[in-house]
Amino acid sequence: MTDVARVAVVDDDRAIRWVLERALAQPDLEVECIERADTALERLLADPPDVLVTDIRMPGIDGLDLMARVREAHPELPVIVMTAHSDLDSAVASYQGGAFEYLPKPFDVDEALALVRRAVAHARERRRPVSVPEGLDAEIIGEAPAMQEVFRAIGRLSHSHITVLINGESGTGKERVARALHQHSPRTGKPFIALNMAAIPKDLIESELFGHEKGAFTGATAQRQGRFEQANGGTLFLDEIGDMPAETQTRLLRVLADGEFYRVGGHTPVRVDVRIIAATHQDLERLVEDGRFREDLFHRLNVIRVHLPRLAERREDIPRLANHFLAEAAKELATDVKVLTPEAERHLTRLPWPGNVRQLENACRWLTVMASGREILVEDLPPELRGEGDETTGAGGDWRVAFRDWADRALAAGHTHLLEEAVPDFERILIETALRHTGGRKGEAAELLGWGRNTLTRKLKVLLPALAEGE
């Protein structure tokens, strides 16, 4: 039968050969057990099986040497390495030698059978030609309506030098959108300089932005151009603008107004022509209310605002994004492109993705390194992504448990300022639910929420402006 896969088992332990011979005695598998690696080598080179299962420590040629010689002639052959000496060195040596998987003894018989079946599927999949979907090299991927709005904004701004403020949670791709705005602007071909405010110590921010003169401070052994000068003629992308210190906000406002600045320790004005694109995951209006962000600077930056949706709000884009990131990771790591099974693809689209597109990109890089086969199964996913996703938090679940789980994942994904991220969504959900219960009557909704009417009106203007306009 053409569907029968041949499996070769090489182990000097008679008991292991006996167990595997019976465990693998399946209608779609044909098993051959061999006691010694040196005996098996010639046979395997001449007539390779679909899968090789080999012990490491055997008399004569050991399993790693056997794997190396066979894979040199047949590099597509998946090899499962077994050993009773399950230490780190054995595992690393196995994978470095190109093993499909590492199986420490004693093993579960069902686990061994499932692993062999995966190796068979992997071998058959490798024989099929790989076709990477077209269009995955675009700078931004998005078919969801919210992303189409972003594309439209980029198109409308393509002939403009105007200042843009990008809003969106951490990991939603704000820098990618900023680069697209630059590339589709009259400044394309000029410098695009990106600076993350949250990643620079406060006492170095002004030097980073405006440069410094020689001797301006200890360690300033030479004059240095700042990011504004480096971006002259092009675009300066200021990420996490909400983390900019107050004194730097004042200097930035002056540059935006006058088009010139002084280097730190300098006395000669430097003139620049720079387009500013700023981005933040924070609620700048709230920071202005709290006195942590200058209102006049906010209005200077908030000329055109582009909002990036959370990944959970554009689930239809997840399969294409994942395929794109898997292709990128394979190119970066010089390996074969991994392919999601339909089950894994459906599973990924149901997850909450607190780290947004960045978390998905990191997961795809992890899978490219860690998944054994070319096809990615649900069980190949990182442990934190194997849960059931958003759909498990049903009406009977405790929202506090789900909320705590979200906070854990968000912090693990590198989020900061969690309150500023969570509170607006929390309030927005409560407002929408209260209005639904009152049929849109805002006075009654305010009473249900325990707010005054003016408070609800103010919140609506910030959180749900479309609803506020109806009042």
Helix (H, G, I), strand (E, B) or coil at 32: strand
pLDDT score at 118: 87
Gyration radius (Cα) of the chain, Å: 29
Residue with the bigger pLDDT between 402 and 284: it is 284
pLDDT score at 347: 93
Q: Which residues contact 101 (CB under 8 A, 6 or more apart)?
A: 80, 81, 115, 118, 119, 372
pLDDT score at 252: 92
DSSP state of 79: E
pLDDT score at 470: 53
Which of 72-76, 145-149, 174-178 holds the top average pLDDT?
Answer: 174-178
- For residues 307-322, give the mean pLDDT: 92
- For residues 410-436, give the mean pLDDT: 79
Question: Looking at 96-100, 171-175, 199-203, 252-256, which range is the least confident one?
Answer: 96-100
Sign (positive/negative) of CA torsion 134, 136, 141, 144? positive
Q: What is the pLDDT of residues 101-146, one digit of tens each?
A: 888 888 888 888 988 988 888 777 766 654 434 433 345 788 888 8
- CA proximity to 393, closest of 385, 404, 401: 401
Q: Could you tell me whether strands 260-261 and 270-271 are parallel, antiparallel, or unpaired per DSSP bridges?
A: antiparallel
pLDDT score at 149: 84
pLDDT score at 388: 52
Burial group, residue 175, by CB count within 10 angstroms (0-12, 13-18, 19+): middle
Taking the C-alpha atoms of residue 400 and residue 450, their distance in angstroms, rounded to an integer, is 20
Domain formed by 400-469, architecture: Orthogonal Bundle (1.10)
Cβ atoms of 464 and 432 within 8 Å: the answer is: yes
pLDDT(380) > 80: yes
**Domain coordinates in residue numbering, the chain:** 5-127, 160-308, 312-385, 400-469
pLDDT score at 179: 92
pLDDT score at 463: 79
State the pLDDT confidence band at 88, using cuts at 50, 70 and 90: low
pLDDT(167) > 80: yes
Taking the C-alpha atoms of residue 356 and residue 453, their distance in angstroms, rounded to an integer, is 35
Q: What's the one-letter identity of residue 311?
A: L
Which fold would CATH assign to domain 5-127? Answer: Rossmann fold (3.40.50)
Q: What CATH class has 160-308?
A: alpha beta
- 312-385 against 400-469: fold identical: no
- CA proximity to 466, closest of 436, 437, 441, 432: 432
pLDDT score at 465: 72
Given 3.40.50.620, 3.40.50.11740, 3.30.1380.20, 1.10.8.60, which CATH number is that of 312-385? 1.10.8.60
HEC readout, 312-328: HHCHHHHHHHHHHHHHH
Q: Cα–chain-centroid distance for residue 352?
A: 13
- For residues 461-466, give the mean pLDDT: 76
Q: What is the pLDDT of residues 215-232, one digit of tens each?
A: 877 777 788 888 999 999
Q: Is the pTM of this model over 0.85?
A: no
